[in-house]
Amino acid sequence: MTDLINSYRTMPDERGHFGQFGGRYVAETLMPLILDLEKAYRAAKADPSFQEQFDDLLEHYVGRPSPLYFAERLTEALGGAQVWFKRDELNHTGAHKINNCIGQILLAMRMGKTRIIAETGAGQHGVATATVCARFGLPCTIFMGKTDVERQAPNVFRMKLLGAEVVPVTSGAATLKDAMNEALRHWVAHVHDTFYIIGTAAGPHPYPELVRDFQSVIGKEARAQMLSRTGRLPDLLVAAIGGGSNAIGLFHPFLDDPEVKMLGVEAAGYGLDGDQHAASLLGGFPGILHGNKTYLLQDEDGQITEGHSISAGLDYPGIGPEHAWLKESGRVDYTAVTDDEALEGFQLLCRTEGIIPALEPSHAIAAVARIAKQMPDDAIILANLCGRGDKDIFTVADKLGVEM
């Protein structure tokens, strides 16, 4: 199959499908909105002033381009391939999430929408959404599982400082997927004035495409920076995957460079052999949830099961549909890293590079640590450092048995 594909960058098709994945599996009330959103996005994409506005905000508000950094001491410590990082943790708000929020709020305003809603798990997307809403003066409601509200108190306070209303969701297990259900319920009842800023490259078409496009700034910058610094492309890209937005943002601009291999890293939680993990691709099956067809953690009856990861940003039981397709087409490899391995990756980066990473990219770091030593020392690995670890220090302290 791989030989027959001329380009991996032409997806989705006109119906929003990535091979058998993706699509628009929403209730009829939302269908006309989704079609409108697609039309509006096509028009925005074709309008140079939209791109200019986006680029301007990314440069002057978010602080892009983010640096491309050669991690010399980590490379030495691992002994093998050179390890480079795309420093998206240096963005305003501390993660890659803001790239997408800037794009979507510009689109919302273009469509004349006057209210913003979003779901959040760990709170990073909620903070990024509340940030752009404050910046543009739009009222903002964030749906967050009650369990997550309790575990992520600092981010809840940040959102409130930024003027957002945070709605704790008590249904189901009261985590990210339940927050997404509640956001969809709210959206159905406020279709005329409300724009839903989805935080990852999933959901009904055109969300997976537009989130990918907004996040692709990561890969476009990294590709140009790598060429200018080393005169060549990296041998391997590595990124952590929850819903998959930072990974698709890094990977997509390189998909048609056959010499560049790619590795997505899922959260293996306590291990893939049990059910306490969040590895939808490696431990799930194709199904339909939250507007798209993709790999899901589910039982034999199609009931959705709860993911687990030390990283609240990765414990979602689904995955963006483009990753499902990239897995099936064989273009990208996927692996998984346990909580304990991620915790080691976290500490390794702190000590060797003076960078405190978020627990999400700590999964990518752990995978890099596994692979780098098997590669020659003239090989180049480029990993995405998609968020900083300030939000996670309490979780890490708890796991390390430290009282703060």
The residue type of 290 is H
> From CA 17, how far away is CA 12, in angstroms rounded?
5
Beta carbon of residue 116, minimum distance to another protein (angstroms, whole number): 18
Nearer to another protein, 103 or 199 (CB): 199
Q: Is 63 in the site for another protein (CB under 8 A)?
A: no
Nearer to another protein, 129 or 298 (CB): 298
Q: What is the DSSP letter of 61?
A: I
Which residues neighbour 154 within 8 Å (Cβ) at sequence distance 6 or greater?
Answer: 123, 391
Nearer to another protein, 179 or 241 (CB): 179
Tokens of 163: 């003027």
Contact 235, 259 (CB under 8 A): yes
H/E run at residue 22: strand 21-25
Beta carbon of residue 30, minimum distance to another protein (angstroms, whole number): 8
The residue type of 30 is L
What percent of the chain is helix, strand and coil (3-state, nearest 5)? 45, 20, 35
Cα 376 to Cα 227, 228, 235, 355, 372: the distances in Å are 20, 22, 11, 25, 8
Q: Which stretch binds another protein (CB under 8 A): 96-104, 133-141, 179-187, 376-384?
A: 179-187
> From CA 223, how far away is CA 251, in angstroms rounded?
10
Residues 29-48 that bind another protein (CB under 8 A): 29-33
Nearer to another protein, 238 or 297 (CB): 297
Nearer to another protein, 159 or 202 (CB): 202
Nearer to another protein, 300 or 403 (CB): 300
Q: Of 24, 87, 323, 388, which one interacts with another protein (CB under 8 A)?
A: 24
Q: Is 176 in the site for another protein (CB under 8 A)?
A: no
Nearer to another protein, 33 or 57 (CB): 33
Residues 143-172 that bind another protein (CB under 8 A): 171-172
Task: Give the count of residues interacting with another protein (CB under 8 A).
Answer: 35
Nearer to another protein, 178 or 322 (CB): 178
Q: Is 189 in the site for another protein (CB under 8 A)?
A: yes
Residues 284-323 that bind another protein (CB under 8 A): 287-291, 293, 296, 298, 300-304
Edge-to-edge strand list for the sheet holding 194-196? 165-169, 140-145, 115-120, 194-196
Cα 370 to Cα 127, 265, 356, 373: the distances in Å are 32, 12, 19, 7
Residue that is written with structure tokens 């980066």 in the block? 349
Beta carbon of residue 296, minimum distance to another protein (angstroms, whole number): 7
Q: Which stretch binds another protein (CB under 8 A): 57-65, 173-181, 363-371, 393-401?
A: 173-181
Q: What is the DSSP letter of 304?
A: B
Contact 8, 256 (CB under 8 A): yes
Contact 60, 89 (CB under 8 A): no
Q: Which stretch binds another protein (CB under 8 A): 27-35, 333-341, 354-362, 377-385?
A: 27-35
Q: Of 8, 12, 18, 23, which one interacts with another protein (CB under 8 A)?
A: 23
Residues 220-259 that bind another protein (CB under 8 A): none
Q: Is 25 in the site for another protein (CB under 8 A)?
A: yes
Q: Is 184 in the site for another protein (CB under 8 A)?
A: yes
| Three-state secondary-structure class, residue 203 | coil
Beta carbon of residue 169, minimum distance to another protein (angstroms, whole number): 11
Q: Is 1 in the site for another protein (CB under 8 A)?
A: no
Residue that is written with structure tokens 């414990």 in the block? 315
Which residues neighbour 60 within 8 Å (Cβ) at sequence distance 6 or greater?
Answer: none
Nearer to another protein, 123 or 287 (CB): 287
Nearer to another protein, 15 or 60 (CB): 15
On the CB side of 140, how many CA atoms lie within 13 Å of its CA?
30
List of residues contacting another protein (CB under 8 A): 15, 23-33, 171-172, 177-178, 181, 184-185, 188-189, 191, 287-291, 293, 296, 298, 300-304
